[in-house]
Amino acid sequence: MKNLKEEVSSFWNWFSENEKALMPEVITDSLIDKLDSKILSLGDFSWEIREGEEKDNMLVISPGGDLKLLAQTKEIISSAHNSIFWEFQYYKPAKNWAFRFTLDNYDVKRMLDASEWEYVLLKFPDGTYDIIIKAPSLASLPENYRNDAVEIVLESSIGEKLRLELIKDIEIVNEIPNEYWGKQTSIKFLKDQIYELEGIN
């Protein structure tokens, strides 16, 4: 029976052999299923294919919102073969986006617009943050769907790694609490604020 290191090596060998067929413009449903099966055989991870930042395509093998798995996905990606077509990432990177997205796990797919959301960021001595989010467009959704929507917005805005490492508690409100009134900022500036506070260029 293969150990995990051998499984990871086998996965990247398979990926390299099939990298052209895995490109988003030509990938088949059966190959998507096979890729999914191979990644899940490595652990309880999420994955996605998206447009690359420096190359045409990016494969993300993500901890799926579980901070404890971040070291494992980093180890898996560190073993990736060099490719002229693909780049690889061990968490979902931040996006350049318009703050509009589809919530897929709603009974009926619906487009949501987060561009009018506001937030207050509260920093603690241990270097983590709580965030209060005013998201009136979520008011009609059940709580679990509101939580899913906020996770999408946070991951898309600052990337999954910073979301998991820095933001500990999220409060979704219809109105900013009185004690924080005047300190709220457009959600569009969350990345800039986090980067400034954390000294990230």
Tell me the mean pLDDT per 10 residues along the chain, length 201.
Answer: 86 98 97 98 97 97 96 98 98 96 78 96 97 93 91 97 97 96 97 97 87
- Sorted by where each begins, the domain ranges of the chain are 4-89, 100-198
Percentages helix, strand, coil for the chain (3-state, rounded to 5) are 40, 20, 40
Six-digit token string for 114: 């987060």
* Cα separations in angstroms, 87 against 74, 127, 131, 139, 199: 14, 31, 32, 38, 25
* pLDDT at position 45: 98
Helix, coil or strand: residue 51:
strand
Q: Quick one: which of 78, 103, 105 has its CA closest to 90?
A: 78
* pLDDT at position 109: 82
Distance CA 145, CA 140 (A): 10
